[in-house]
């Protein structure tokens, strides 16, 4: 079965209660594009309120702890996200890997926790600029895949997001040829380890996606959607990306 396009907004640490109106506008607009799965991952503080404001829509966390409960001040467990109606969680974003020293093993444990809690998981990988410039990007990302993808999972509930760190929030994007090469390499690595399940897994591209470049990036080989930061905060910026995904079916 063909993989449905998946466009996910990562609001990062942006959004007070007033921003729920933006989420409602996005989810209302998404109803015109039923071939695309649309989700928003707001800050934890807005997850429950967004679920209530947009019933039936896909709302998720941007991180979770690997434990189900315990003495982890400030952390949120995957079952807690599920408990307030979240249906997905992002793990391993580079801003967590770099800013909070999360290792591949940490990311894998978080992915396992999300899946066990019944959530869909978006597991992020991506290389720093120096690695891209040295020609080692594919080896670097495949090592992250080897270290952070769990051993067993429901392929329909685990997506990979390839996000080159140097492209996040910078306005820089890799060439379509480079995106296709990376996504193809990820798919082949997943197939070598998991067989046919790799065909069901969605691989998203993330890094400075906007309404102008989305059509080209989403049409690259093995790109099944986009993880979007800055351009996901308003319907005006986000819906052209969703529409570009819908046009590609």
Nearer to ligand PEP, 15 or 230 (CB): 230
Q: CA geometry: angle at 218 spanning 213 and 220, to 5°?
A: 105
Active site residue 98: no
Nearer to ligand PEP, 13 or 192 (CB): 13
The one among 98, 103, 154, 169 contacting ligand PEP by CB under 6 A = 169
Distance CA 198, CA 191 (A): 5
Distance CA 215, CA 192 (A): 29
Active site residue 183: no
User: Could you tell me how many helices (H) and strands (E) the chain has, helices first?
Assistant: 11, 8
CA 96 to chain centroid: 13
Burial of 199 (0-12, 13-18, 19+ CB in 10 A): middle
Cβ proximity of 214 and 9 under 8 Å: no
The one among 15, 42, 61, 206 contacting ligand PEP by CB under 6 A = 206
Site for ligand PEP, residues 4 to 33, rule: CB under 6 A: 10
Please tell me which residue in 102, 112, 127, 163 is annotated as part of the active site. 163
Q: Does 229 bind ligand PEP (CB under 6 A)?
A: yes
Query: Cα(first)–Cα(last) distance of the chain, in Å?
Result: 13
What is the CB-side half-sphere exposure of residue 21 using CA atoms within 13 A?
Answer: 1
Q: Which residue is nearest to ligand PEP (CB)?
A: 229
Q: Does 42 bind ligand PEP (CB under 6 A)?
A: no
Nearer to ligand PEP, 194 or 214 (CB): 214
Q: Does 209 bind ligand PEP (CB under 6 A)?
A: yes
Nearer to ligand PEP, 51 or 226 (CB): 226
Q: How far is the CB of 208 from ligand PEP (least distance, A)?
A: 4
Site for ligand PEP, residues 94 to 113, rule: CB under 6 A: none
Nearer to ligand PEP, 72 or 100 (CB): 100
- What is residue 19's DSSP assignment? G
Q: Does 163 bind ligand PEP (CB under 6 A)?
A: yes
Distance CA 52, CA 16 (A): 15
Please tell me which residue in 93, 95, 102, 127 is annotated as part of the active site. 93
């Amino acid at each position: 079965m063909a993989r449905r396009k998946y466009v996910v907004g990562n609001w990062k640490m942006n959004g007070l209660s007033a921003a729920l109106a933006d989420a409602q506008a996005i989810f209302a607009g998404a109803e015109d594009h039923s071939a695309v799965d649309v989700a928003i991952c707001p800050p934890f503080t807005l997850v429950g309120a967004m679920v209530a404001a947009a019933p039936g829509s896909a709302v998720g966390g941007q991180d979770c702890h690997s434990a189900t409960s315990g003495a982890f001040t400030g952390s949120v467990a995957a079952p807690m996200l599920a408990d307030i109606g979240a249906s997905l969680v992002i793990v391993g974003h580079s801003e967590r890997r770099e800013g909070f020293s999360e290792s591949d093993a940490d990311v894998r444990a978080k992915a396992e926790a999300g899946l066990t809690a019944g959530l869909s998981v978006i597991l992020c990988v991506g290389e720093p600029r120096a690695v891209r410039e040295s020609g080692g990007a594919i080896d670097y990302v495949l090592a992250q895949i080897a270290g952070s993808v769990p051993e067993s999972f429901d392929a329909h509930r685990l997506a990979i997001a390839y996000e080159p760190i140097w492209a996040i929030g910078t306005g820089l994007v890799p060439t379509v040829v480079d995106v296709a090469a990376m996504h193809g390499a990820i798919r082949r690595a997943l197939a070598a380890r998991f067989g046919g399940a790799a065909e069901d897994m969605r691989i998203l591209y993330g890094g400075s996606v906007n309404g102008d470049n989305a059509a080209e990036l989403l049409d690259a080989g093995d790109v099944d959607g986009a993880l979007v930061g800055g351009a996901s905060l308003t319907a005006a910026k986000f819906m052209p990306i969703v529409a570009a995904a819908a046009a590609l079916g």
